[in-house]
Amino acid sequence: MAKLVTIYGGSGFIGRYIARRMAKLGWRVRVAVRRPNDAHFTKTYGVVGQVEPVFCNIRDDDSVRRVMQGADAVVNCVGILAEAGKQTFEAVQQQGAARIARIAAQEGVEHLVQISAIGADAGSDSAYARTKAAGEQAVQQNFPGAVILRPSIVFGPGDGFFNRFASMTRLSPVLPLVGPDTKFQPVYVDDVAHAAELGATGRAEPDIYELGGPDVESFRDLMAQMLRTIRRRRMIVGLPFGLARIMGRFFGGVSKVSGGILQGPITEDQVEQLKRDNVVHEGVKTFADLGIVPTPTEAVLPDYLWRFRPSGQYAEIKESARNLRHKGPQT
């Protein structure tokens, strides 16, 4: 019988790429999510019955254990960028990660992969970064043989980074940025999935790997690249951290009052994250240690940001037409 992998958060941005890769290897894939009905698209990643979306609440032991039973490998992709109701940083990124690792050890799972993030730091002013670090520590304590992956900002079709800012250009002549000089090292989503595949199949040594793309760019430069890709001109304006913190506090209050239904463009915690560069540190294991050559942004962005161009899919045709020269009758 084919081996089985349980992917917590397997219908999310990174999780769906991991699910697709594991299915292509012939593994049975259990996609553990809070809303299985919204994850039916993952069934198309394999043959009938190979990929199965199942309900799971990672805040509950029995729920986590039920979907893990019989699994040879486990991948935890669950994470949040903003708190909403019971979905707090501590509950999801710290306690949830600890619960999955503890139960994986009890169930005799062979391999565990934890998706964390560059910037995970127990001493950070950001609750997101602190709980990512606490989750890593709990995973290593409960499952010492785990592979922990720390990607920088992840891009690709369906991302919440380039797509978000590209959509803003349709509505405003100005592109406001918090921390425009903050450095990022964008990493292609399928490269992260490849690293997770190596961890889940036992082809990666247990350790922490920081995953960044081939280029380090400022937030401002990445937005300039995005604007060139979508053929639009917008004024990039840097917002002071003080003003951004006030905005984040206000939107956080709105979110809390609405029970998480209404989410603002930025949170106070995200402002804290943007104060620090999000790049691979020296002396750590990276893609090179996994034998993976990371993909540059320019090789992928045009493939999915074309829809934000003024003429959409016809932009390149119109540009080519403008270069044609009218030829008069031959004499």
Torsion region of 281: left, alpha or beta (phi above 0 gives left; psi -120 to 50 gives alpha): beta
120-168 pLDDT, tens per residue? 999 999 999 999 999 999 999 999 999 999 999 999 999 999 999 999 9
Q: How far is residue 147's CA from residue 154's CA, in Å, rounded to a whole number?
A: 18
DSSP 131: H
Find out whether 15 and 77 touch, Cβ atoms under 8 Å: yes
- Alpha carbon of residue 59 to chain centroid: 21
pLDDT at residue 1 in the model: 65
For tokens 């009052």, name the residue. Answer: 257
pTM beyond 0.85: the answer is yes
Distances (CA, A) of 330 to 233, 324, 327: 41, 17, 8
Find out whether 11 and 43 touch, Cβ atoms under 8 Å: no
155-187 pLDDT, tens per residue? 999 999 999 999 999 999 999 999 999 999 999
237-246 pLDDT, tens per residue? 999 999 999 9
